Amino acid sequence: MFKRLTTDTFNWILIIGVILFIVEVAFFHGGMIASALFSGLFIYIGWKKFNRLWGKILFWLGVVGLVFAILNMLAVRFLIIAAIVLFIMNYSKSKKEAEHFMPHFPGHEQVIADPIVEIKPLFDHKIMDDQQTEDTAYQWRDINIHGAFGDRVIDLSNTVLPSDTAIISIRHIVGNIVIYVPYEVEVSIHHSSIFGRAHVLGQHHWRLMNQSLHYQTKEYDTSLSRVKIVTSLFSGDIEVKRI
């Protein structure tokens, strides 16, 4: 829909949205942000207890409250108006411009693109849900995901890692991360967290407050079979252990 939207235009829209967000926080005592955070807490608790009636009620109350809180934010209203204006401008411009077709003449040189293959990732980006690798054998693909709520469980014992470095990169807001690593695989872990705990191959940190950790096994730099783990959490625990 917005193929003609330039990067500069997008950046200006983003900058103005951020400014409006800051103005709402600074001059309107947080505006609807506090309500949105409170509704988000309701959603998280309700999702964790969704199998119970009160959990379902709490979850949907949080969803409704979050939608209303977001729609009442100055930045969100501006982004909605900007999207409508851009849509009208692009539609009006497209009606005035005729499509041009370039004829193809045999014998003219053509640029041949390199053949590529689309590889389906192991995980999709999910805002709110638990995710884990398959219980049966699966083909390894590097993991690079981000999310908001839920737990992530990755079991490397059901796959064959490549002969070079396998990458696991997870950026998450609230939830726990558990990674099972086979004994014959060397590991490097770089973890940062605002709140939470870390249990990494026998090393325990019971209270992390805006800290970063970096561990690696002794043979990591020389081994051919190794995995590099980079994780970032706002609030949650990480556990990396052998299996």
User: Is the per-residue pLDDT at 67 higher than 60?
Assistant: yes
Which 8-state DSSP code applies to residue 112?
Answer: P
pLDDT at 205 > cutoff 50: yes
For 17, 85, 87, the CA distances from 80, given in Å and listed in that order, are: 10, 9, 11
Q: What is the pLDDT of residue 41?
A: 87
d(CA 182, CA 185): 6
pLDDT at 38: 83
- The angle at the Cα of 71, spanning 65 to 74, to the nearest 5 degrees, equals 125
pLDDT at 116 over 90: no
pLDDT, one tens digit per residue, over 183-194 is 989 999 999 998
Q: Give the 3-state secondary structure of residue 204.
A: strand
Q: Token pair of 190, please?
A: 């770089």
pTM score of the predicted model: 0.58
The pLDDT value given to residue 1: 47
What proportion of the chain, given as a percentage, has pLDDT over 70? 81
What is the average per-residue pLDDT within 103-125? Answer: 64
